[in-house]
Structure 1
Amino acid sequence: MVEVFLPQYLPMLIPPVPWLRNNLGGHLTLRNTVMRIRGSRLQQEMLDAADQEWGEGRGPGLSRVYDALNSLGSTAWAINQDVFRVVETVWAWGGGVCDIPPKVNLPLPRDLKPGFRQHRHAPGQLQFYLRTRRADISRMQKKNRELHSLRCDMEYKLAIAREFVKEPRFYFPHNVDFRGRAYPMHPHLNHLGADLSRGLLQFAEGRPLGEHGLFWLYVQAANLWGQGVDKLPLWGRVKWVEDHLAQILMTTRGSHGQVAYWWQAENPFQFLSTCFEIHKANASGDPARFVSHVPVHQDGSCNGLQHYAALGRDFSGGHAVNLCPTDRPQAGGGARKPRTPDRACIHASNQPSNQPDLLMCHTLCAGLDRKLVKQTVMTSVYGVTFVGARAQVGNRLKERGFEDNQFMYKVSCYTAKVTLECLHEMFQSAKHTMHWLSECARLIAKEGHSVMWHTPLGLPVVQPYRRKDRQHVRTLLQRLVLVENNDDLPIMKQRQRTAFPPNYIHSIDSSHMMLTAIACQQEGIDFAGVHDSFWTHAGTVERMNELLREKFIELHQQPLLEQLLEEFKRLYPTVDFPPIPPKGTLDLDQLRQAAYFFS
């Protein structure tokens, strides 16, 4: 019961046990497995077979996966003392700032709405106001329940930070999910968490900034500020920081009137951490020799689309996601095709003045920006449907204060439709590759099999989507749901088909991250990976950039789709698979000069 309900996967004060087998590694005494398996006997058998193959010298097995996880786990972390003091102060004030939830619940409405008394005798007025009041109370109660959950999560993070704040270093053992994506085992305060968690963490080992380290700290500050600054050319981001250096330095001193400046950043606590580092580097008198501990991120540009463009050698799509050298970053859309805002403006200009669509189009022209459609662009590579895209846009509109549900629904439908059309036009090769992957999965699921494959690093993957047998058990304290999950249950054919393209891309991008982690460890570079965001010291960013580009080219120079088709034919000999879509003319060697591939 203790192991099930009270897991104790805390950070480690010593380096983790190296992974040697799929059930040997990670923590010293706790039970660990290299993959988070959902009761799949077949998945476990494939992992055991890979270990046996490696042990008997018949192949590499999972050795490279283990090397990557050992590299990630060997990175030492520490609590950022400056940010920790700020977080503790804000929490003591009562929270309600940035990612910190307020300590006090929202007040429930007690009185009927204004105007009730003078209209209480009108037909249906009493029922209307009572119904409205009940809806308001229900909405506020839901928000308070959400705040309670956020406060609990906040207390977990602060408890871990308080416990480890005096420790000079600690470590996060890693394992992978069924697709091969690496995650720290400790769930609460780690670098895969939200902005608050990331701001509280820094590298335990410092490195001098060197000749260009301060430049990359400035780029990091601009990226974390966001609000369009992160889409400027690199020199433009540095100039923005230089123009705002006075506010940044005053923020770190806590000067009156400037203490709230960092609150305006899109990632406020990480921005504050970088501001402290910039202040210390400039105050040292010799920034090149200043020893920096703050991780600097290099994020992929629509990473899923980057992999699709590389798989299909799609020149147009590759240009749009920065696989080609450009003077400015391409934010998922270039000048070659009409973008969503342009489509909205064209539609607006073609509407008669008395058409209701005119207001909708003008609303889009005035308020449509990258943030509104960012989630749709990012998830399009993972098979997002029109309904899902509409819901994503609707959520962004709610965040911006839209209250008219009917108008918001119409704007969401139009925006989702135009965005998906533009993406399909721009990423033709990605569309064909995604369709081919879906069709292969459909044929496999039609035969009653789960989709299985091996990642480029040899990790076996079995999609776990089966119809689960659930039993509900009520106790005096709570309701438990017992889920039976095994390989004897019937598969979910639709889920097997729709989930395969994103899962396959996830297995490819995890392989890229692991190859980069191994290469960085071989050169003595501290490295941390958050899926498509690679972290290192400011002084080693340039070398990491070279390595991650080399590993991306090395990965995609392999015939990945051909290898996948060959494996499918071997695993499912009775299935007649369609041919691989033709490839384009993209030259992956250009990637070495693509400044904004990761930036």
Structure 2
Amino acid sequence: MLRQLLRTLAGLNKHDKSGAILSRADPRNFLNMSFVETISKLDAERRRFTLTNTDTKVKVNYYLQTVFKNDIQRSLDILQLFKAKCNVNRTHTSFPRNVQIYTSCLCTLISHLASNVGGDDNDLAEIRLVIKEVSELPHHMLVSIPELQTNLIQKQLMVALIRHLDLVVKKSKQHTFARSIVYELAKQYSLNPHSFIEYISIEYPDLKEAAHSLWPSLEQHASSNGSPFNIAPFLNKDGSMSFDGLCEFIMSSRFNMSGDKRPMYAIYDSIDETSKSNFLQEYMLHNRERQVIVEQYCGALQRSFSAKQFNSGVTQFNRIHNAWLTRWHELVAKTLSSDSLLSNRVFKKFAFFLKTVPTDRLVSLVLTKMFAFTLVTGQIETITLVRALSSSFKKSIMADKTLKPIYYQLDHYLSEEDAIEFFGALIKVVIDTCKVPQDLMKCSSKHESPLFSSGYGKGTPSSPLHKAGVVILNDDVMRSFQSFKDILFCDSYLLPMLCPPVPWTSPHRGGFLDAEAPLVRSSDLHTTLAYVERAHETGQLSSLYNLLSALGSLAWTINCEMLEVFNEVLKADHGFLKLPPPIHLLRVESIARPARDSYTSEEDYTSAMRSYRKETERRTQEYNDRRGLRITYELMNKVANAFGVNGDIMYLPHNVDFRGRAYPAVSFLSHHNEDLIRSLLMFWEAKPLGSNGYDWIKYQLANLYCKSKLSMQQSINFVKEHKTEILEAASEPLKSSSWWVQGDNPWQCLALCKEIKKIEDSNEPPELFKSRIPIHQDGTCNGLQHYAALGADDDAARSVNLLPTQERNDVYSSVLRIVEGKVANDTLSGDKKLQALATKSQALLSRKLIKQTVMTTVYGVTFFGASRQIEARVDEVTRESSPKEFKELSRMQIASYIASVVLKSITELFAGAKTIQDWLIRNCIRCINSFEAKDLASFEDFDFFSSKRYRPMMWSSLSGFPVVQPYKHDPRKEIVTPLQKITFRQKTKLGHINIRKQINALAPNFIHSLDAIHLQMTCLAAKGADISFAAVHDSFWTHASDVETLSRVIREEFVRLHQSLIIENLREDMKYSNRNAFQLVWVENHCNKDFIQELNALRVQHNLKKCRKKEFWNSCLKYELSNPNDVNALVKHHKPQLWFQTKTSSKIAEQYDEDTKRTREVSVKTHTPILVPVEVLPEPPLGHFDVTLVLKSRYFFS
């Protein structure tokens, strides 16, 4: 957290706002960053911020206790001990770590003073002691403290003085003296008043006026005088906040507009245009205060299980269950409060947290998380539970004004490894302490069973042999607590914002006011951010910041009419559409266990038992899925009501994934959610429909209702034909015969039915009706559209509507026709098995059967993946069929056959796309299997013949965003805790890349990075055209009146994108990234005797140690990687054929020095390895499609 704050401040200082195109050769370009060096720096930073031994941890914890007891003198004395360690062994590897311990402890002391210093003489004296401590730092320590951290220390000292000044009687001698110290320090620190007040505004807003009084000449913006809300009624008795409490706060803190109780958006509509800006200004000031409170608590929502909480009556649970929860809470709290606990070796290291964090709150947090995570399926991986506890614990400290001063140093005092040990120990206390009451247990055991237990469960699909530690909830408790819903809602959430998001200005500043949602989301966040921060420093992210700020500034609100329907169906005992029944009514459908005496043979019985276990597992999984879905819907319903009850304005801050694709940075309730949630959302601003807006509403209804796309005229006719059903659905949506539920997207259909009824009932012409409903325009299999444009492929372009045509082309139907022809031919085959497969498949073929495979082909779906997709569709179609129908040919055999035909048909129709995919993959294999001398400097010994590689695929998107594929094998580390051995992956440790993922993911990631750029360009152009814009990747939304404007913009930006030499730029990135890299290739000994003879003579001159052949070759190759000229000269002179192994595990190699697909078997007996400069394959050939024709294509996006 300190590191994040420092990066934020660094970004403010370093950001180049020019956004000028950066040359690849510029040393600051992220393409010049070494992956190995980047990871090594991250690991060094991690080690710097790690307390490595028990003695140090105990001392630091004692120091923190003295700080928070306000024993400043004792704190300074201990600080001297930390400083003394920095004065010895200055060249030892521990020196940076010792300096950081001292610095973090000093920062915590100053932060504590900045938040809590008083106004008497003694307080000023303590501040002066700390100022003296800072001023007397020895030079060797000062130069080891990052400049930004030094600046932070200085700023917080200034804050402490200003807080003291704010409490002192104005114009008193003490006030005058303290004021003079402020000015003296400001001069000494060369403080910029503007940036300092900006810092105060973000970190200490309560002191903004006091700071302005010191520099009255600076312009002062309007600010609030503290929170106008009384938050106490919504908090738990221990000061924490529950999910219900937070939702209640949002509902109860309505902006008061002269007592008007209408939805806020209705009030806004009724105000004249000249008054709207004043209304919004006041409303947003009010909402910003609400947002501050929401963000303060949303990261650590929890229930309180203390007796005080339950005795207050704030509970939805029955009395007996409350008694058990209270008893468990008391037992754990008593154990943690015991003085003897700190004699335990583990807990002694975390004494500060046990002594300073209120015990009731800590116990409630642990119990809340343990119940919330295990009540869903009965158990949870320990590492998942521990990480959730750590995250919520740290965020709860941020919400606690007393403890907040430690927040930015918290990752230092409680690192990931420390948190695993600490919370593992706390979970063990709960397991040892809490027992299940006899009256709850179904079995008649005389012994009490533990409430929770621990063990080791099955590994993940990606690591089946790895047994993960798990925490398990008692079965009887799980059954009894099924309806304990509110605890399931207690987690860390990011809710939609009540005020506009902060404009993005750095990778760590933007979006939420204070909640942590970085610019980029990635499975390897630290590494991705390292590259993103470099791009930020050079101004290459300016357009991305503009995009995310524009997307986040769009105001939304809840459709209250749809919310009423959602609330109603949630009460239904039988569920509704995809909404499962209430949790207490859900059951695992039982199945009779096979009886042994019903089977004549052991083989038949074993087979029956296998089927029984498989079906039981399937039904249990189905129950868990439905239960999880119900919980999610109830969560979203609560949030929707919190924002909808007052018709509040909502904003959705956005961030991007590692490919640059934009997503709302909220946990739920966004337009990226499914049909029901989308139906709840509408734009805050209402716009008159204009001349064609009503037609577009009809178009949207028709196309959301029907499975196939209709033209505009067909849509208008559809609405006309179904007018009665539409109006009936709007008036009585829950009638048993309701028409809307048959739609493909029923909930959005219902929202449009209601909108049409309002238009029809309106007293004004449709063109004057003000509508908020978003209208979508979707691409036709957008990934294939990008491929068709990249390859200038006429046939493919026609199939995906890039060419202007009278009728819309359906790519799925086009593929289906080819598939049907191939299958029909196979029914005539002489191969009996093939004939049988084709005959059986013919009856199953449909557009729906192949649609998913066609859609995902562009994203690199494998044959296995395609087979699984089609098998799922076959299962749906044949669910009621007799098992005998599939006795000779299984569903999987049929699905595999259909998948192979579908993939061949797609290749036939989209030959250009397949050519580009192959080109991407072949170049990726070359790039990631290359070697660069500076990367190998970190390794004493390196095996060129192993599968370990350290160069991920990376490129720069056209906006300047760095796309670095994050797939690598993170080293595992095992930590022994009192609970069990817990294994976790170390993200900042150097691990070799995952070659399979790097290759398989390149094509889809490249296309995703293109659709991200198209979205970005379209959004910014829409902003320039002053129209609303929202998007779900390749589905673009706006008001009905602005559809045609957006339609033009979408086409113009697509054309502009594909006139940008995309493939050429990518190839140049690959060439530049590998300009100093070399490829391991093989030369055949027999055909190149002169070359091999001279090479061996040259290698003798290296004077390398004689050893076994591969070891000797490794030594030679490492030497030649740093000294490549002699070998390169030999290759140029003799021009031997070079063979490249695309897989290290395979003996088959392809010809390297020519763009052919000739292959040959290589071995150490017949070939010799050498390193040659990486050769990037030439660009694939292009067709003749003219991309500007997209401008005239009616059905390109529709």
Q: Normalization by structure 2: what TM-score?
A: 0.47
- Superposition CA RMSD, Å: 2.7
- Pick one of 741, 746, 770 that aligns with 1:291: 770
Selected match of 1:383 from 842, 860, 872: 860
Q: Is the Cα contact below 8 Å between 1:210 and 1:288 reproduced in 2? A: yes
Q: Alignment length, in residue pairs? A: 586
- CA gap 1:512/1:474 in 2 versus in 1, 3 angstroms: farther
CA contact (8 A) 1:247 1:258 kept: no
Distance 1:205 1:111, change over 3 A: same
Residue of structure 1 equivalent to 2:1051: 549
Partner of 2:619: 140
Q: SS at 2:538's partner residue? A: helix
Contact 1:300 1:598 in 2 (8 A): yes
- 1:490 corresponds, among 968, 989, 992, to 992
Partner of 2:743: 265
Q: Tell me, in whole angstroms, the C-alpha distance in 1 between the residues paired with 2:975 and 2:900.
A: 43
Structure-1 separation of matches of 2:523 and 2:1186: 40
Q: Describe the superposition over 1:364-387 as per-residue Cα deviations: whole angstroms up to 9, x where unpaired.
A: 444422221111111111111111
Taking the aligned partners of 1:471 and 1:243, their CA distance within structure 2 comes to 65
Residue 551 (structure 1) shift: 0.4
- Indicate whether 1:212 and 2:692 are aligned: yes
Q: Which amino acid aligns with 2:1015?
A: M
Cα distance change of structure 1 residues 45 and 106 upon mapping to structure 2, 3 Å threshold: closer
Q: Could you tell me which residue of structure 1 aligns to residue 1010 of structure 2?
A: 508
Aligned match of 1:162: 641
The runs of 5 or more residues in structure 2 that have no matched partner are: 1-389, 396-489, 931-948, 1078-1173
* Aligned residue type for 1:212: N
Counterpart for residue 82 of structure 1: 561
2:804 maps to which residue? 325
Q: What is the rounded CA distance, in whole Å, between the counterparts of 1:453 and 1:271 in structure 2?
A: 42
Give per-residue Cα distances to partners, 1:167-210, cap 9 Å, x unaligned.
43110100000000001111211111111211111111111111
Alignment of 1:32-431 (within 5 A): 32-39=517-524, 41-54=526-539, 61-94=540-573, 96-103=575-582, 104-109=585-590, 120=598, 133-165=612-644, 166-228=646-708, 230=709, 232-254=710-732, 259-285=737-763, 286-332=765-811, 338-348=817-827, 350=828, 361=838, 364-402=841-879, 404=883, 406-431=889-914
1:31 counterpart = 2:516? yes
> Take 1:396 and 1:480, find their aligned partners in 2: how far apart are those partners?
40
Structure 1: how far apart are the matches of 2:814 and 2:590?
51
Aligned-partner residue type, residue 556 of structure 2 = W
Deviation at 1:469, TM superposition (A): 2.8
* SS class of match (1:489): coil
> How many Å apart are 1:100 and its aligned residue?
1.0
Kindly provide the CA deviation profile for residues 389-423 of structure 1, in whole angstroms up to 9, marking residues without a partner as x. 01000112223343646432232122211111111
- Cα distance in 1 for partners of 2:1017, 2:732 equals 42
Match of 1:13, as an amino acid? L
Give the whole-Å Cα distance in 2 for the aligned partners of 1:560 and 1:14.
Answer: 38
User: Which residue is 1:58 aligned to?
Assistant: none
Structure of larger gyration radius: 2
SS in 2 for 1:93: coil
Of residues 466, 469, 475, the one that matches 2:968 is: 466
CA distance in 1, matches of 2:973, 2:849: 40
What per-residue deviation string (whole Å, max 9, x for no partner) do you get for residues 46-69 of structure 1? 322222222xxxxxx211111111
Match of 2:1186 in 1: 587
Deviation at 1:251, TM superposition (A): 1.0
State how far apart, in whole Å, the 2-side matches of 1:199 and 1:475 are: 48
CA distance in 2, matches of 1:335, 1:156: 42
Query: CA offset at residue 15 of structure 1?
Result: 0.6
Q: How has the CA–CA distance of structure 1 residues 480 and 245 changed in structure 2, closer, same or farther, with 3 Å as cutoff?
A: farther
TM-aligned CA distance change 1:331 to 1:343, over 3 Å: same
Report the secondary structure of 1:50's partner residue: helix
- What is the CA-CA distance between 1:480 and the residue it aligns to? 7.0
Distance change >3 Å, CA 238–CA 340, structure 1 → 2: farther
Call closer, same or farther: CA 1:100–1:476 in 2, change over 3 Å.
farther
- Kept in 2, the 8 Å contact 1:337–1:426? The answer is no
Aligned equivalents of 1:358, 1:91: Cα separation in 2: 50
Q: How far has the Cα of 1:552 moved from its partner?
A: 0.3
Deviation at 1:338, TM superposition (A): 4.7
Task: Mark the CA change 1:534 to 1:313 in structure 2 (over 3 Å): closer, same or farther.
Answer: same
Separation (CA, whole Å) in 2 of partners of 1:482 and 1:45: 22
TM-score, reference length from structure 1: 0.91
Aligned equivalents of 2:609, 2:531: Cα separation in 1: 60
What code does the residue aligned with 1:216 have? W
Give the SS at the match of 1:87.
Answer: helix
Identical amino acids, percent of aligned pairs: 34
Following superposition, the deviation at residue 264 of structure 1 comes to: 1.2
Q: Deviations over 1:221-259 (max 9, x none)?
A: 12211323x2x3332233222212221111111178565
Q: Does the 8 Å contact 1:252/1:279 carry over to 2?
A: yes
**SS of the counterpart of 2:663?**
strand
- Aligned-pair CA distance for 1:29: 1.4
Partners of 1:91 and 1:476 lie apart in 2 by 43
Aligned to 2:957: 455
SS at match of 1:461: strand
CA distance in 2, matches of 1:90, 1:475: 47
Match of 1:441 in 2: 924
d(CA) in 1 for partners of 2:611 and 2:536? 62
Structure 1 residue 13 corresponds to structure 2 residue 498: yes
Question: In structure 2, how many angstroms separate the alpha carbons of the residues matched to 1:49 and 1:123?
Answer: 69
Residue 451 of structure 1 contacts residue 462 of structure 1 at CA under 8 Å; is this kept in 2? Answer: yes
The residue type paired with residue 388 of structure 1 is: G
Shift in alpha-carbon separation, 1:145–1:204, aligned structure 2, 3 A? same
Q: Secondary structure at the match of 2:519?
A: coil
**489-498 vs 97-106, greater mean Cα deviation:** 97-106
Does the Cα contact within 8 Å between 1:174 and 1:183 map onto a contact in 2?
Answer: yes
Q: Is the 8 A contact 2:572 2:581 kept in 1?
A: no
3-state SS of 1:529 partner: strand
Question: Are 1:499 and 2:499 matched, yes or no?
Answer: no
Deviation at 1:311, TM superposition (A): 0.8
Distance 1:571 1:420 in 2: 33
Using the TM superposition, give the Cα deviation of residue 24 of structure 1 relative to its aligned residue in structure 2, in angstroms.
Answer: 0.9
CA distance in 2: counterparts of 1:381 and 1:319, whole angstroms: 16
Determine if contact 1:466/1:485 at 8 Å carries over to the other structure: no
Q: Which runs of 5+ in 1 are unaligned?
A: 55-60
Q: Confirm or deny: 8 A CA contact 1:157 1:188 kept in the other structure.
A: yes
- Aligned counterparts of 2:1008 and 2:504: Cα–Cα separation in 1: 22
Q: 1:189 to 1:334 in 2, by over 3 A?
A: closer
Q: Please say if residues 209 and 290 of structure 1, whose CA atoms lie closer than 8 Å, have aligned partners that are also in contact.
A: yes
Question: What is the identity, as a one-letter code, of the residue corresponding to 1:561?
Answer: I
Matched letter for residue 242 of structure 1: K
Q: Equivalent residue of 1:297, what SS?
A: strand
User: What amino acid sits opposite 1:267 in the alignment?
Assistant: N
Q: Hey, what does 2:69 align to over in structure 1? A: none
| SS of residue paired to 2:804 | coil
